[in-house]
Amino acid sequence: MQTGRSLFLAVAALLMIGILSLPAPVLAQNGALKVTSFPSGANVSVEGVDTGKVTPL
């Protein structure tokens, strides 16, 4: 029955690798962003959402 145990251990190892490789939850954080462009006056979008602001910012 050693083959069954080996298979179980292999599957358990793969599951642990999968669990350990999951990304950590992302927590909201405050930060700062400096945006410049040439020429100035470019619209600024963050994650595809227009901020209503233009460079320099």
* pLDDT tens column, 3-40: 677 777 777 776 666 666 667 777 878 888 888 888 89
Question: What's 51's DSSP letter?
Answer: E
41: containing domain: 33-57
Q: Assess if residue 54 is contained within a domain.
A: yes
Q: Among positive and negative, which fits the CA dihedral 11, 16, 17, 23?
A: positive
Residue 3 belongs to a domain: no
The pLDDT, as a whole number, for residue 33 is: 84
Contact indicator for 44, 55 with CB cutoff of 8 Å: yes
Does residue 52 carry a pLDDT above 90?
Answer: yes
DSSP code, position 21: T
pLDDT of residue 21: 66
Residue 42 has pLDDT above 70, yes or no: yes
Residue 10 lies in a domain: no
Is residue 19 in some structural domain?
no
- The whole-angstrom separation of Cα 44 and Cα 35 is 8
**Is 28 contained in some domain?**
no
Q: Is residue 26, in this structure, part of any structural domain at all? A: no
Q: Which of 26, 25, 45 is nearest to 35 (CA)?
A: 45
Q: What is the number of domains present in the chain? A: 1
